[in-house]
């Protein structure tokens, strides 16, 4: 059960990827990212190198793995890469699920960090450049109006609990709703608000589903590029703020990684 997993603290490190609860410290971290603009500041910050032999993934897929050692942690950043036909970032839930599955199988991470940009609801307090640590995820575009099946569609789950991290970094905390569209239809809006979400993205709940399937703790760090409940065009505001917000996102992700490494150096 996700919600009953131990917290990320020195006293209670999470179970390892195998879920056998042997309480060894976090050693391998998998960062899953959908956009190149989100990935590059982190590749630079952690001095990661691109995996060029590509042996980790099947031949021909666009997925890119960067890796390196940072503060004694094995950092792997996997970017879903560019669509092989259109040459644009492979955003959305399909690529995110596939990359999550393949990367977990290959790397056996102790912790997953899904980092990316998100749209925010200003009515719920979200502002451009805010960075959220996500407490819960759900989908808003999988409508199955048949009794229990609708709950499967929503796919709501709690993320890995990290109260000490939240306190230490003073992060905003809120719920995330995931769907495969950047814009927001009126029906999406109703369902996102029903999910009680403050931020919306295009990957989070999919990564959470796979992480849960394979019993790997996962946390979600989402930086707001645009609001979705104002007068401005979502796509315009998103593009306008993308680069600056990705710098902010990278700063927060690196603080999170520093926290994780610090916690485990104490007991390591």
Interacting residues with ligand ADE (CB under 6 A): 117-119, 182, 200-202, 225-226, 228, 234, 238
Per the listing, tokens 């195998």 go with 18
| Residue 198, helix vs strand vs coil | coil
Beta carbon nearer to ligand ADE, 66 or 238? 238
Cβ distance to ligand ADE smaller for residue 118 or 138: 118
Name the minimum Å distance from CB 14 to ligand ADE.
27
What minimum distance in Å lies between the beta carbon of 47 and ligand ADE?
27
151 in Cβ contact with 143 (< 8 Å): no
The CB-nearest residue to ligand ADE is 119
Task: Tell the smallest beta-carbon distance from residue 234 to ligand ADE (Å).
Answer: 5
Residue closer to ligand ADE, measured from CB, 240 or 255: 240
Q: Indicate the residue among 219 and 234 with the shorter CB distance to ligand ADE.
A: 234
What secondary structure letter does DSSP report for 53? S
Find the shortest distance in angstroms from Cβ 179 to ligand ADE: 7
CA dihedral 255, 256, 257, 258 (to 10 degrees): 50
Q: What are the DSSP calls for 60-121, one per residue?
A: T---EEEEEEETTEEEEEEE--B-TTT-SB--SHHHHHHHHHHHHHHH--SEEEEEEEEEE-
Q: Least CB distance from residue 23 to ligand ADE, whole Å? A: 36
H-helix or E-strand spanning residue 239 = helix 234-267
Hey, which residues does 178 pair with through a beta bridge? 139, 201
CB of 215 to ligand ADE, least distance (A): 27
- Asked whether the beta carbons of 142 and 181 are under 8 A apart, the reply is no
Query: Between 26 and 138, whose beta carbon lies closer to ligand ADE?
Result: 138
Residue number with CB closer to ligand ADE (78 or 202): 202
């Amino acid at each position: 059960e996700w919600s009953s997993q131990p917290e990320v603290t020195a006293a209670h490190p999470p179970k390892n990827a195998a879920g056998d609860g042997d309480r060894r410290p976090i050693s391998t971290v998998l960062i899953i990212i959908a956009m190149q603009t989100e990935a590059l500041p982190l590749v630079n910050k952690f001095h990661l190198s691109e995996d060029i032999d590509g042996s980790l993934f099947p031949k021909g897929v666009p997925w890119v793995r960067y890796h390196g050692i940072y503060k004694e942690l094995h950092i792997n950043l996997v970017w879903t890469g560019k669509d092989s036909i259109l040459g644009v970032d492979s955003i959305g839930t399909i690529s995110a699920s596939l990359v999550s599955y393949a990367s977990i199988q290959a790397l056996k991470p102790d912790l997953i960090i899904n980092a990316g940009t998100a749209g925010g609801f200003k009515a719920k307090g979200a502002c451009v450049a805010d960075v959220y640590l996500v407490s819960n995820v759900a989908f808003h575009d999988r409508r199955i109006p048949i009794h229990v099946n609708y709950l499967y569609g929503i796919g709501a789950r709690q993320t890995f609990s990290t109260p000490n991290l939240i306190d230490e970094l003073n992060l905003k905390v809120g719920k995330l709703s995931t769907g495969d569209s950047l814009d927001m239809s009126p029906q999406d809006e109703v369902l996102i608000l029903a999910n009680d979400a403050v931020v919306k993205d295009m990957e989070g709940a999919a990564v959470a589903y796979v992480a849960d399937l394979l019993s790997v703790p996962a946390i979600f760090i989402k930086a707001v590029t645009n609001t979705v409940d104002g007068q401005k065009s979502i796509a315009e505001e998103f593009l306008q703020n993308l680069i600056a917000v990705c710098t902010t996102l990278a700063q927060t992700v690196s603080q999170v990684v520093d926290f994780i490494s610090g916690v485990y150096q104490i007991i390591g």
